Amino acid sequence: MTAYILLGIVIFLVVILAANVRIVPQASAYVIERLGGYNTTWSVGLRFKVPFLDRVAKKVNLKEQVVDFPPQPVITKDNVTMQIDTVVFFQITDPKMYAYGVDNPIMAIEKLTATTLRNIIGEMELDQTLTSREIINTNMRSALDVATDPWGIKVNRVELKNIIPPEAIRNAMEKQMKAERERREAILRAEGEKKSTILVAEGQKESAILEAEAEKQAAILRAEAEKERKIREAEGQAEAIRIVQMANAEGIKFLREAGADDAVLTIKKLEAFEKAANGSATKIIIPSEIQGVAGLAKSVGEILR
């Protein structure tokens, strides 16, 4: 009989011991109450509680959590009612405050998110609301983080998931976007035509410049050819005159060798200058001694007549 009693006591102690041993997992915390009041917070590891005195009041998840709230009706500054749903990323930083700060933390965050969103959107117009998501997200995160701090909750990020304007506004926006796209298409088409016209004009300009340059080069070549021709003609005339003069000089030399007097030589010189005057030269410079002899020859000729 005593053995059974002892066995029963051992079994009872084992059950009691097993019931009061807890293993707290990673990223978790247990809030422990003793006799109905807060006693301590267990972190990760093997823990023991006092039988019949301690109890686990709340198991807290310390991981970052995400809550997707349903769309909330909000009214903008210009009296447009929209549906906006939000996503809140939060993390519990103080298990004790989370356990005793508010009765239903998730519902409290949802209601707080709705009221904060209405306050922020109520100060903005429709167009500003649609283009200021980042500003709205930042303002909501700041406001929620301050409000949830007494609950042991830190709001890390708030995102506007969808902004749904009324159907009439959506239709007007679609028409506006369609008109904007058509306007951009017309602008692009006009710019393309303008660039095409400019390219054609530039091509014509380049062609005209090249033609003018070619004509200029041709004119230069023609002028150089004409100049070369005139030079060759002048050289030929000069060579002809040189040959005539050499022939005259040879004749005069022959006359001298034949014993001709100075008068005959002078006359021959005058004849040579007469032949030279029949050329293309417009001026002939006659030495002064020949001029005197020419005058004498003229006077003798007049007397003989």
Q: What pLDDT is stored for residue 252 in this prediction?
A: 67
CB 56 within 8 Å of CB 75 = no
Residues linked to residue 92 through DSSP beta bridges, in sequence order:
153
Q: Round to whole Å and give the CA distance between 37 and 46.
A: 22
Q: What pLDDT is stored for residue 95 in this prediction?
A: 93
Contacts of 78 (CB under 8 A, 6+ apart): 125, 126
Q: Where in the chain is the domain with CATH 3.30.479.30?
A: 65-165
Tokens of 66: 């995400």
Q: Round to whole Å and give the CA distance between 94 and 27.
A: 12
Q: What pLDDT is stored for residue 302 in this prediction?
A: 47
Q: Round to whole Å and give the CA distance between 50 and 55.
A: 8
Q: What pLDDT is stored for residue 41 in this prediction?
A: 92
Beta strand 45-48 with 21-24 is antiparallel
Contacts of 28 (CB under 8 A, 6+ apart): 44, 59, 60, 61, 62
Q: Round to whole Å and give the CA distance between 256 and 265.
A: 8
Q: What pLDDT is stored for residue 269 in this prediction?
A: 58
> Residue 94: phi, psi to the nearest 5?
-135, 100
Report which of 150, 168, 75 is spatially closest to residue 118, judged by C-alpha positions: 75
Q: Round to whole Å and give the CA distance between 199 and 68.
A: 57
Tokens of 96: 């004790």
**If one looks up domain 65-165 in CATH, what number appears?**
3.30.479.30
Residuewise pLDDT in 10s, the chain (305 residues): 677 788 788 887 788 877 788 888 999 999 999 988 899 999 998 888 888 888 999 999 999 999 999 988 998 888 888 899 999 999 999 999 999 988 888 999 999 999 999 999 989 888 888 888 899 999 999 999 999 999 999 999 999 988 888 888 778 777 888 888 888 888 998 988 889 888 888 888 888 898 888 888 888 888 888 888 888 888 888 888 888 778 777 776 766 676 555 555 565 555 655 555 555 544 545 555 545 544 544 443 444 44
CB 39 within 8 Å of CB 54 = yes
